[in-house]
Chain A
């Protein structure tokens, strides 16, 4: 892109390049997912096919998913509750903390940030047994909170760190101006910073939500009633018709079904992101 090229051709070339880039990104992200979709639409008997289009197309896997014994609808609902509450709580707590990190000067700041991230480092497999003992004693087995509270261990650090970064990028001046206009610190934050940081906040929310949505080990250990299990746990219980048969088709169908709601959610949120963005840019 030299300065010599006239604007028009550069723009055209750049436009074409952009679409090549977009196509590459889409292909990269979706080709394996396409394979997942294709596999989920095959009959169990032709699951080993490598043709690019399933023939015949069969919804047998999806039908079996929603069959009475799998309880998959209920599991999706449980996942939504657990991941949803985890995200809301984590974001709420993290917003306060991140604001302090980004805006206030106080001692031990670095220590606290390090502590926060350190807590998300312990392998889940080694915290699950102590937590299970604890929750058994306080009667939390088969409750939502038994899944939500441990999920905070990875959701909170993720949210705190990301929000801190995004808040830091916001200029102080706007807030100061608002405070001069008579807003309290809290109001200034709510009315000025939050809308401006909206893209960051929503991205953080999405990422936290997905992390909580996909959590498996804790959800498996803390529940033993089928009506309390989350989607990943339900998927782990999919079976073929016999012990050795891998229920690959229905697992892939389940993968498609747990992914689609997330994507729809992101599409819905995106309007907010864009809204937040324009609000920021209009400033």
Chain B
């Protein structure tokens, strides 16, 4: 390409002007290090690093210690990034942009996998080396890009419907709602109780941030629609999707969802639920143990998310392990990834850090289910889960979703208009 020569010239001119000699120049091609053909050679042994957001539980380091004891010449150092997911992604991208070998194994949020794979910031992995058959299918899907495996699922997460079992029981409701209509009907019954004064019906995460994308996608999927189809093409301007968005927008309008819920993130919703202000709340499993320590202990339970005509679908959370293309000692890294994403490690993380495992077997383990009563429900939730759009420009896609969903929820746009605009925006950002 002639642009490249011109580019190189211009680049060196700029560098000379700045009086600095610099090897790496923004976009210089280093010869296509990896991925192109999917034949990365995993060679080299020695010390590596594991890069993840700050460990919230203290469970990671002991597992690393276990590895380090077994492999004294191939030690893993834990590089902890900020708690904030955006900051984590930014640091990982900066590392890739500078082609630095500081990061070896990356803990990627499931929605980043496509982007990192497409940029060839991470290597394609040999599929047969990971026990994918023992994992929940939707979880494995999050680790693929264009059919290739680019990451090893390490943990998962799915949405649950928390409900006030005490109030439902008092109102004579015997089982949690499976559809939105049932949920609204149950609320109507509960609200008649004297104990339910000032209680609102439902909330999720509706602040304009990633949580809104999660909640919007769930509503659309639970009504039988999709945001992007199986090939990653946007297909959101459909009657089914409209029914999903209408549920959320309509609930805001008729007060089923309290109006302050437009500012809710996970913690605000949990707070409102624990303060007894909500009958139903969509939230992640993390809240189960915390609510048990609040005054609501014993008066709540979980169920799969409700949908339009039956049980709904959750979005998928969780993290995947990926191998930085610019790393050294890839043979060690691959071994470490197998160890770190293995079933034993997943069990440790479930026991010590209550991280939802990708392995089917662990959900059916009775001793674990005693420790975490929500596990059977979570398994159903994850099995029916739909990953958020798996696209290269996920950042643009989620921005567009948040923009339009927020407009519909706050009533500045009709849901039909919002979906139409969203479809157009998504086509634009997935076309590149």
Which residues of the other chain, B, contact A233 by a CB distance below 8 angstroms? 82
> Please, how many angstroms separate the alpha-carbon atoms of A225 and B103 in the complex?
11
Say if the beta carbon of B193 comes within 8 Å of chain A: no
Asked whether A236 and B22 contact (CB < 8 A) given A69-B58, A132-B98, A246-B267, the answer is no
Say if the beta carbon of B102 comes within 8 Å of chain A: yes
Say if the beta carbon of B396 comes within 8 Å of chain A: no
Binds A, one of B112-120, B163-171, B286-294, B306-314: B286-294
Asked whether A239 and B97 contact (CB < 8 A) given A220-B82, A244-B266, A246-B267, the answer is no
Contact across chains for B94 and A239 when beta carbons are under 8 A apart: no
Say if the beta carbon of A247 comes within 8 Å of chain B: yes
Which residues of the other chain, B, contact A137 by a CB distance below 8 angstroms? 22-24
Contact across chains for A220 and B87 when beta carbons are under 8 A apart: yes
Contact across chains for A237 and B271 when beta carbons are under 8 A apart: no
Whole-angstrom distance from the CB of B250 to the nearest CB of chain A? 27
Residue of A132, A244, A247 touching B284 (CB-CB under 8 A): A244
> Please, how many angstroms separate the alpha-carbon atoms of A244 and B56 in the complex?
10
Whole-angstrom distance from the CB of B215 to the nearest CB of chain A? 14
Which residues of the other chain, A, contact B265 by a CB distance below 8 angstroms? 244
Closest B residue to A221 by CB, please name it.
B94
Which residues of the other chain, A, contact B290 by a CB distance below 8 angstroms? 241-242, 245
Say if the beta carbon of B12 comes within 8 Å of chain A: no
> Please, how many angstroms separate the alpha-carbon atoms of A134 and B24 in the complex?
8
For the residues of B in contact with A, the DSSP-based class is: loop
Which residues of the other chain, B, contact A220 by a CB distance below 8 angstroms? 82, 87, 91
Say if the beta carbon of A48 comes within 8 Å of chain B: yes
B interface residues, tally (CB under 8 Å):
37
Say if the beta carbon of A280 comes within 8 Å of chain B: no
Contact across chains for A244 and B267 when beta carbons are under 8 A apart: yes
For the residues of A in contact with B, the DSSP-based class is: loop
- Write out, one digit per residue, whether chain A residues 31-62 have a CB within 8 A of any chain B CB (1) or not (0): 00000000000000100100000000000000
Say if the beta carbon of A140 comes within 8 Å of chain B: no
Which residues of the other chain, A, contact B82 by a CB distance below 8 angstroms? 220, 233, 236-237
Whole-angstrom distance from the CB of B278 to the nearest CB of chain A? 14
Contact across chains for A245 and B94 when beta carbons are under 8 A apart: no
> Please, how many angstroms separate the alpha-carbon atoms of A225 and B100 in the complex?
14
Say if the beta carbon of A243 comes within 8 Å of chain B: yes
Say if the beta carbon of B54 comes within 8 Å of chain A: yes
Q: Which residues of B contact A (CB under 8 A)?
A: 20, 22-24, 26, 53-58, 79-84, 87, 91, 94, 97-98, 100, 102-103, 265-267, 271, 275, 284, 286-287, 290, 293-294, 354
Q: Which residues of A contact B (CB under 8 A)?
A: 45, 48, 69, 128-129, 132-134, 136-137, 141, 220-221, 224-226, 233, 236-247
Going nearest first, the 7 A-B pairs with the smallest beta carbon separation are A236-B82, A244-B266, A242-B286, A237-B54, A239-B56, A136-B98, A239-B83
